[in-house]
Structure 1
Amino acid sequence: MPQVIAQGQTIECSPKTNLRSCLLRNGIELYNGGAKVINCRGIGTCGTCAVYIEGEVNQPNWKDKARRSLPPHSPTRELRLACQTQVLGDLKVTKYDGFWGQGSQVVWTPKG
């Protein structure tokens, strides 16, 4: 079973589990500020669940690529939308600041 390390927790999940679902189900604060209330609930249109991932995940799908190509995101930044990401192996997840998680300051790291 893959292990996801995020915000000081180590979570086991089944292969191909949706990363957003895995994080939220385990009490991880995935959204910054008002994005906790105003987000697309996992359909890949808002971009507020953007995270930096180290580890094995699926290739970005068209929704992930399309949303991250629009401001305030940048297609050259190595972020992924948690809602469009499948866990394929062990992961370390980092969340950045900004409403869309696009900022430069770390909100939380794998260790906490």
Structure 2
Amino acid sequence: MPTITVNEQAFSCESGTNLRDFLLSQKVKLYNGKAATINCHGHGTCGACAVAIEGVASEPTTVEKIRLNLPPHKGIESGRRLACQVKVLGDIKVTKYDGFWGEGEVPVTMIQAASASA
């Protein structure tokens, strides 16, 4: 089973799992700010689920290539991928960056700390 590492926390999933759906099912914060509400819900048209991925994943889809070549993204060559278009094929490390669409340069925390209140 592939391992997805996010902010030093590891999750196991089935090979072929959609990255966006899996991260959301694990309560991982995939979207920045209001993008959590205002997004395309996995159709690959908004670009708000852009993340950097290191490891073994599916090849970029046509939809993904088109969206990442539109501003504010800097193209598929930037190393960013749309989580909604990625299938996990092996171990990967996921990094989210700042900016509404995750197009920034500063990594952000995707794992929420457990609430201290009861």
Q: TM-score range by the shorter chain?
A: over 0.9
The whole-number CA distance in structure 2 between the counterparts of 1:7 and 1:17 is 19
The whole-number CA distance in structure 2 between the counterparts of 1:26 and 1:60 is 23
The whole-number CA distance in structure 2 between the counterparts of 1:88 and 1:109 is 21
Divergent runs of 4+, >6 A:
none
**Structure-to-structure mapping, 1:18-57, within 5 angstroms:** 18-57=18-57
The whole-number CA distance in structure 2 between the counterparts of 1:77 and 1:108 is 20
Residue 58 (structure 1) aligned with residue 58 (structure 2): yes
Name the residue aligned to 1:67: 67
**Structure-to-structure mapping, 1:83-98, within 5 angstroms:** 83-98=84-99
CA RMSD of aligned residues (A): 1.6
Deviation (angstroms), 1:78? 0.7
Residue 104 (structure 1) aligned with residue 101 (structure 2): no
Residues 97 and 108, structure 2, Cα contact 8 Å, conserved in 1: yes
- Which is further off, 14-23 or 2-11? 2-11
- Provide the aligned length of Structure 1 versus Structure 2: 111
Q: In structure 2, what residue type is equivalent to 1:16? A: G
Structure 1-normalised TM-score?
A: 0.94
Name the residue aligned to 1:7: 7
Residues 18 and 86, structure 2, Cα contact 8 Å, conserved in 1: yes
The whole-number CA distance in structure 2 between the counterparts of 1:11 and 1:24 is 12
SS of residue matched to 1:65: helix
Query: Mind listing any 5+ residue stretches in structure 2 that lack a counterpart?
Result: 114-118
Query: What percent identity do the matched residue pairs reach?
Result: 51
Deviation (angstroms), 1:109? 7.3
Structure 2-normalised TM-score?
A: 0.90
SS of residue matched to 1:23: helix
